[in-house]
Each structure stands twice: as structure tokens, then as C-alpha cells.
Amino acid sequence: MQNITIYIDDKKLEVESGKTILEVCRNNNIEILTMCHLEGVLDVGACRLCLVEIEGVNKLLSACTTKVAANMVIRTSTERIKRYQRITTELLFAERNHMCSVCVANGKCELQNLGYKVEMDSIRYPRLFPQCEVDTSHSWYVLDHNRCIMCTRCVRVCSEVEGAFNWSVKNRGYQVRIISDFNTPWGESTTCTSCGKCLHACPTGALWPKAIVQGQLDKKPEIIEELMAKRKMGL
Amino acid sequence: MNRNDLKVISEKAKEKHKKYKHKICVCCGAGCISSGSEGVLLKLQKEIVERGLQNEVEVIPTGCMGPCNQGPLVKYLPENTIYQKVDCENISQIVQSQIVEKKPIEDLLLFSDFHPKPFINAHDDPFFKKQLKIALKDCGDINPEEVEDYLAYDGYLALGKVLFQMSPEDVIAEIKHSRLRGRGGAGFPTGLKWETVYKYVSEEKYVICNGDEGDPGAFMDRSVLEGNPHRVIEGMAIAGYAVGANKGFAYIRGEYPLAIKRFEQAIKQAKKNGLLGNKILGSEFSFDIEVRIGAGAFVCGEETALIASIEGKRGTPKPRPPFPAESGLRGKPTLINNVETFASIVPILNNGGEWYSEIGTPKSAGTKVFALAGKINYSGLIEVPMGTSLREIVFELGGGIQGGGEFKAAQTGGPSGGCIPAKHLDVKMDYESLMSLGSIMGSGGLIVMDEKSDMVDVARYFMEFCMDESCGKCVPCRVGTKMMHDLLQKIYDGKGTSIDLERLEELAIYVKETSLCGLGASAPNPLQSTLRHFREEYESKIEQDID
Ligand SMILES: Cc1cc2nc3c(=O)[nH]c(=O)nc-3n(C[C@H](O)[C@H](O)[C@H](O)COP(=O)(O)O)c2cc1C
Ligand code: SF4
Ligand code: SF4
Ligand code: FES
């Protein structure tokens, strides 16, 4: 890989070509907010939190899916970007039922952390309060749609890492839902191997093991990356 | 069949038509079929045989003739007399009067319910007079189910010329010269797109024809696919030769069973005659087309979602770059163009890029097909040179507003577009002019509204459409369209506040700038454009509130 020069927030950087803007930023301690990104699986550009401004490009592009190019001039934290990150966060909170104080993920939730990061002191949009199911049919695990933010990290981990293809998505628009198999209760899935990787991949309190209560969730999303790194080395 | 055989067959087909003295075309586009034209066709064929006129009169089913609301339509050639709202009862009168006595029937003439003096030659009617049919040429004159009919109208001669006399570079240069822009909505220069795909080196490349046409009220592409499928096939094959692809897919929405049937039938006929498949017309070029059927999601018209759908995946868009030209179907360089774009290729190669580039306006060359609908007297399908004014379309071609009402606004570009108010009636219909008014050309939907239309309701309707059709992948579009819809509903119901309006405007900009694909990015357009031109309607609904 050849080295190229790029500029991020007025800092000149020599970086390897072929990398995404997100990778380069993380390697250089430049903070980019993300939610659908998960180390170890492919990026889909769905949450739109990682949007950056690029000089000469009239659209905002997602850092997780856009590769660096020679002489790119990138801005990661303009007022506009910050404003949009805050709206995105508010919309995520307003979309389903996020009651942090009674959630298993309280204190360990990436969505909750995001709220703090963007200094969300209130939600300006009416909460939708949808009636969502809680699927407790699996012997060990729970899927609580009330907390799901549709990042599809579980879907990608299940297909790309575990190879089980249990998870997918049904419906359109704000009515999308994660489904198991062909829309069967998780406990009746014929593809789920009960490996538990999706629980670690999930950023919120949507997927969790039955043995815990409020605030006890212990997620290790980094195990996905470790697993994939080992696999690449042939271990 | 090789290239010489093609000329022979083409001549033969022409001969066959020449032997008839009269030709009667019965419109069998989906519109006229729904008003009963198939029965009319059968009755007419029977009547001709019963009167022993079958060697004099040719009767054929054709594709869409344009004035769909007046169907079933029957056209008599060579005089080009069109009869409207024909039913089986009228048949013997038509044959007796038109064929035997050579007298047209005034009461049945097209638009006789509007004009005191309808035209015997339909081309004299303003509805047709101002039109210039290029993409739709022959549609309404030929039988879309017979390849010989297409050949009689010089079909596949352009493909023959391309394969034997032109290099891929020549073809691309000709298309670039024509200044044709994609008719699927965004208006990207077609020649440039072809060149980009051509330049990527790959063993495998694909050509895709986008026939998903999901805009409510639009039926331009359907009419082309139903009325002249071989034109699209020929255009796709030429594109395949130019960019270096041997495989094409036509993605047609499932709600168009007739278009699918005719297109598949046309593929079979083309293959049988050596016009598709291995070594086309005896050249070294092979090209094959398969049909893929869409399941009715608007978002599947977006190119990356369409590709995912062809691959058998859930139809959700992917971030671009990479663009399909670099990495499209199965990760290979892929050319994707709209139906109408492909339908414009053959005339460009037959008449030259120069000819095409001189039609229309400097930046928007050629013609555009519009589906006229709403509170207008003559709705249906029209094709006009780019740069024709909205006033001409509404008041001359369209015959003005229904019931003598007042023109209030026209919506172009469907849920991705915007409205044009009366004070801009003289706007030229081309990409740039529409954009400067905050609307877009879009794929060609044109809905005319009268003074009774409530613009907040119009915005609410289109937002509801986008909210339902959002694929749900990215946050701004999935949640943003729902929030905007609910706010619009609240204002429409008279319960909105000025804060709601502020939120709405902020969300509109946010959704536009942050959404992953064009659906979200353009979903706020109808809202923003009604706010721009009819803000007072929003405010009047809010003032009633305590606020
Ligand atoms: C939500 C959405 C829906 C679309 N639907 C269609 C469609 O139905 N037909 C079409 O040709 N293009 C549609 N497009 C545009 C395509 O993505 C693409 O730009 C087009 O097919 C390219 O062809 P062209 O260059 O010939 O216009 C749509 C785009 C978006 C964002
Ligand atoms: S269940 Fe969790 S990982 Fe899966 S989509 Fe929902 S929030 Fe994301
Ligand atoms: S903008 Fe809408 S349709 Fe497009 S990817 Fe996002 S959610 Fe899907
Ligand atoms: S992390 Fe890039 S879009 Fe979600």
C-alpha cells in the first residue's frame, strides 16, 4: 500500500491508501462518533453519526464507508456535523422505548454514552412510544425490540462471523424489525447456534442473557474483532 | 440471421405492410385494456373478416397512444384519425363509415367532448401538435408483440451499424455528442456514464435497465416497455457493446405484468432471430438479457438497492462511492440506465448525436416524456422537447384546467420533487430551470393542481409516501420522515404551533443532508417547496392555535 497525504481538521497526515476515513481517524486519535460500525464486520453506513465534510464533495459522507484519497481535506467536527449528530441521537431515543434507569444495559450502553457525548439535555421531538415485542422464547437469551436501534450489528455478526444467518430485517421505514429465521420466535430458530456473539455485538439493551437484571449487562463488543483477527491468522 | 439477412427481412416486412390499403391500430396499453380495448380489437378483427376486407385492412394491437383517459382508442391510418371511448357497439359503424364510405365519424373523434370541432387528423390537435416523439416514436403504431413489425420500422438496423461499423469508443463518442442525460431522475450525462463503465477493466460487466418506476402516477417507462419493447432491448445491446458487457438485466416492477410479458416475449423473439444471444448478427459480440421482477418497493428503483435486489438480497441502498460503474452487480462494473434513456439510444445512433443535441435546450438536450395527471382536461402520456414551457403543457397540450378551474400549482418529480406555482407557469421544463425553482425533473410525473388543492395536504401526502417507502436502514430517513410526517399531520389538523414549523424546517434540512440514499435526501423536497411557494397556507393553519 502506498502512502498518501490527507488533511483532517487542519492536521496534515501521511496515511496508507485503501483505508477508510474512520480507520485513519481512529489510528490518529481523532474522535468520530459511530453506532452501526463494529470492528470485525463489514460497514453499512446506516446510523449516519460518522458523517464528515470533505472539501469539493457536496454531500456529507460516512467515514466508516469512505476510503481516503490523496489530498483529501476532511472536517470531522464542524458546527453542522455536531448539530446533526445531536439530532440523530435524539431521533434514536425518540424512536423506541429507551428507559435507561430500568434497562439491563444502564451504564454500559453505547446509546446512553452517545447521549452524554452529544450533550443531549432533552429530546425535542415527540417520542413515538411504539408497542414493541419482547422475545423471550430462547432458553438463554432475550431480544427486546423496545431497545433496538436497528444498527444491524447482530445481523452482520451472525452471518459474517458465526455463519448462522439467523438474524435479518423485516418491514420498511419506522416499522422495521429484527427477525429471527423467517420471522419465527428466536427459541424456535433452526439456524441460531446459541453462540451468543450477537449479545456482545449489540450496542444497547436489546439483546441480553436471561440471567441478569437492571444494569448488570456486561458486553464485550471487542471480542468480535479479536475473533476475526485470530481467524485471519488462521488460528 | 446475419446483417444482410436483417436488411432482407426488414424489406420483406415493409412489403407486407404496403399491401394493405388501410391500417387500424387498437391501443392495447394497460390503460386502454382496462377500459376494454381487447374486446374492441377482437370485435374489429371479426368484423373485418366477416366483411371480407382482410386483404385490404390490417388490424393490429399497439402500445400507448397518449390520451389514456379517452380510451379505448382506435386509430385509422394513413389519415391518422383517432376515435375515442370506442366500445364494441361502435365497431360496425367505424368499419362502414371509415373504410367503406371513407367518412370519419365526428361524434367519436378524439376530444370531441371538449372541442366543438374535433380534428380529423389527430396530429392537428394541440395535444399532439406540440409533441415530438423520439423515445415514444412508433409506440402506438407498431404491434409490440411482433418482432417483424419492429423490423419494418427499421428496428435493429442501429445495432447492425454499431456492431459492424463502429468501435465502442465511436458509440460512446456519439452518445456524448448527443448530450443525452439519464431520464431516471438525476439527469446524469449518459455518455459519461458509459465511458466510465467502459474504462474499468473487468472480464465481467453488466448492463441493467431500470424499469422499477415507483413514482405515484408515473407510467412513462411502462408505456415504453409495453409499446415498444424491442427498442429497449436494442438500446441495451448497444450499451453492452459500448461498455464491454455481455449480460443485461431488465428490472421491471411486478405491478406491470403486461410489460413483463411483452418484454420477455420480445427477448425470446430477438434470440430466435439472432438479435440477442451468441454472436449477434454474425458479429463477435454476444449479449443476453434476463428479466428480474421487482416486488413493489419504491426504494428498489435506487440503483444500489436495485442491484441488491437482483442479487437476491433485501433491497436496501449502499453508500456510494463505490458507484455501480466501478463495483455494481456481483461487485463488477455495472451500467444502469432508465428505460426511457435506453429507448433514446436507437434514434440517436440512427440520426446522429448532432441531431439529438440540437433538440431541446443547451444543457438539456432531446425530449422528455411526461405523465400528465391531476385536474387537467387531457391527461395521459406526452413527449415534448426539453424547454417546452409549463404553460404550453398545461394549457395547450393539456387543454387547461378541468371544469374551468384555476391553475394553482404543478408537482413534478413526484415524492422527490416539488411544486411550481402559477407565477412560474412560464418556466422551461428542463433540468436546470426546475432545479432553480426548488423542484426537479424527476422521472416525468406531472400532476396539475387547481385552486381547491391544499398544499399542506400535498406535502403531507408525499411525506407519508416517503415514510412508508423508506427502507428503514438509515436513521435520518427512517425516523426523520416519520417525525416530519407527524408534524405535518399535526399542522394540517390545525393543532400545530410555530415551534412545530421550526422543527419541521430544521428536520427537512437535516434529513436532506444526512440520509444515505436519494430517497431520504429528496424526501423533504415537496415540503420545502410548498413552504417556499405557499408558506402562508402553513401559517394560516397555525395562527388558529393558541401559540
Ligand atoms: C428512491 C429512488 C427511486 C428511484 N427510482 C427509479 C426508477 O423507478 N426508475 C429509474 O430509472 N430510476 C430510479 N431512480 C434513479 C436510479 O437510482 C438511477 O439513478 C437511474 O436508474 C439511472 O439511470 P439514468 O442515468 O438513465 O437516469 C431512483 C432513485 C432513488 C433514489
Ligand atoms: S438487536 Fe442490537 S445489534 Fe441488533 S439491530 Fe438491534 S440494536 Fe443493533
Ligand atoms: S435514505 Fe431512506 S431509503 Fe435510503 S437508505 Fe436511508 S432509510 Fe433507506
Ligand atoms: S458508523 Fe458510519 S454510518 Fe454508522
Please determine, for residue B448, whether its predicted confidence score (pLDDT) is greater than 70: yes
Convert the pLDDT of each residue in A186-202 to its tens digit: 999 999 999 999 999 99
**What is the ipTM score, two decimals?**
0.97
Same domain membership, residue A184 and residue A203:
yes
Domain residues for the domain of A142 are: 84-232
Beta-carbon neighbour count of residue B395 at 10 Å?
A: 17
pLDDT of residue B544: 59
Report domain extents, chain B: 20-129, 147-356, 364-450, 455-541
Superfamily holding B147-356: NADH-ubiquinone oxidoreductase 51kDa subunit (3.40.50.11540)
Convert the pLDDT of each residue in A28-67 to its tens digit: 999 999 999 999 999 999 999 999 999 999 999 999 999 9
Determine phi and psi for B331, rounding to 5 degrees. 75, 10
For A34: left if phi > 0, alpha if psi spans -120 to 50, otherwise beta; the answer is beta
Please determine, for residue B519, whether its predicted confidence score (pLDDT) is greater than 70: yes
Indicate the helix (H) or strand (E) that contains B377.
Answer: none
Interface test with A, best of B475, B483, B489 (most A CBs within 10 A): B475
Convert the pLDDT of each residue in B371-387 to its tens digit: 999 999 999 999 999 99
Same domain membership, residue A71 and residue A113:
no
Convert the pLDDT of each residue in B76-91 to its tens digit: 998 999 999 999 999 9
pLDDT of residue A2: 86
Indicate the helix (H) or strand (E) that contains B91.
Answer: helix B91-94
Last residue of a domain, one of A30, A47, A77: A77
Per-residue pLDDT band at B194 (split at 50, 70, 90): very high
User: In this prediction, what percent of chain B has a pLDDT beyond 70?
Assistant: 99
Same domain membership, residue A112 and residue A56:
no
Please determine, for residue A152, whether its predicted confidence score (pLDDT) is greater than 90: yes
User: Which amino acid does the sequence have at B86?
Assistant: V
Pick the CATH number of B364-450 from 3.30.930.10, 3.10.310.30, 2.40.160.20, 3.10.20.600: 3.10.20.600
CA dihedral over B525, B526, B532, B538, signed as positive or negative: negative
Convert the pLDDT of each residue in B386-445 to its tens digit: 999 999 999 999 999 999 999 999 999 999 999 999 999 999 999 999 999 999 998 899
**A48 to chain B, minimum CA–CA distance in Å?**
7
Please determine, for residue B57, whether its predicted confidence score (pLDDT) is greater than 90: yes
How is residue B502 written as a grid cell?
421550526
Residue A60 with chain B: CB contacts under 8 Å: 513-514
> Cell match 378541468: residue?
B402
Convert the pLDDT of each residue in B280-307 to its tens digit: 999 999 999 999 999 989 999 999 999 9
pLDDT of residue B546: 53
Convert the pLDDT of each residue in A120-147 to its tens digit: 999 999 999 999 999 999 999 999 999 9
pLDDT of residue B82: 96
Per-residue pLDDT band at A212 (split at 50, 70, 90): confident
What is the Cα–Cα distance from B361 to B153, expressed in whole angstroms?
28
Please determine, for residue A151, whether its predicted confidence score (pLDDT) is greater than 50: yes
Please determine, for residue B30, whether its predicted confidence score (pLDDT) is greater than 50: yes
Query: Lowest mean pLDDT: which of A172-181, B5-14, B522-531?
Result: B5-14
Same domain membership, residue A142 and residue A29:
no
The ligand placed nearest to the CA atom of residue A35 is: 4
Report the mean per-residue pLDDT for chain B: 95
Please determine, for residue A232, whether its predicted confidence score (pLDDT) is greater than 90: no
Query: Are B346 and B234 spatial neighbours (Cβ–Cβ below 8 Å)?
Result: yes
SS3 content of chain B, % helix, strand, coil (to 5): 50, 15, 35
> Cell match 390503460: residue?
B31
pLDDT of residue B114: 84
User: In this prediction, what percent of chain A has a pLDDT beyond 90?
Assistant: 91
Question: How far lies B308's CA from each of A199, B317, B398, in Å?
Answer: 27, 8, 39
Residue B470 with chain A: CB contacts under 8 Å: 172-174
**Mean pLDDT, rounded, for B326-333:** 97
Question: How far lies B186's CA from each of B189, B429, B430, in Å?
Answer: 9, 14, 12
Determine the CATH number of domain B20-129.
Answer: 3.40.30.10
Per-residue pLDDT band at B547 (split at 50, 70, 90): very low
* DSSP assignments along chain A, one per residue: --EEEEEETTEEEEEETT-BHHHHHHHTT-----SS--TTS-----S-TTEEEETT-SS-EETTTPBP-TT-EEES--HHHHHHHHHHHHHHHHHTT--GGG-TTTTS-HHHHHHHHTT-----S--------EE--SSSEEEEGGG-----HHHHIIIIII----EEEESSGGG-EEEETTTB-GGG-SS-----HHHHH-SSTTEEETT--TT-----THHHHHHHHHHHTT-
Ligand 3 pocket, Cβ-based, cut-off 6 angstroms = B 299, 316-317, 470-474, 477-478, 515-517, 519-520
**CB-CB under 8 Å, A48 with B478:** no
Question: How far lies B403's CA from each of A98, B31, B377, B400, B457, in Å?
Answer: 54, 23, 8, 9, 22
Touching check for A47 and chain B: CB below 8 Å?
yes
Same domain membership, residue A139 and residue A113:
yes
Same domain membership, residue A169 and residue A114:
yes
**CB-CB under 8 Å, A88 with B476:** yes
Same domain membership, residue A94 and residue A63:
no
Determine phi and psi for B100, rounding to 5 degrees. -80, -50
Touching check for A65 and chain B: CB below 8 Å?
yes
Determine phi and psi for B18, rounding to 5 degrees. -65, -25
Q: Give the distance from CA B93 to its chain's centroid.
A: 35
Beta-carbon neighbour count of residue B161 at 10 Å?
A: 15
Of A80, A128, A176, the CB nearest to B472: A176
Where residue A36 sits, what CATH number does that domain have?
3.10.20.740
Q: Atom of ligand 4 at shortest distance to CA of A64? A: 2
The ligand placed nearest to the CA atom of residue B444 is: 1
Residue A126 with chain B: CB contacts under 8 Å: 483, 486
Report the topology of domain B455-541: de novo design (two linked rop proteins) (1.20.1440)
Interface test with A, best of B473, B484, B519 (most A CBs within 10 A): B473
Same domain membership, residue A209 and residue A118:
yes
**Mean pLDDT, rounded, for B359-379:** 95
Of B318, B478, B486, the CB nearest to A173: B478
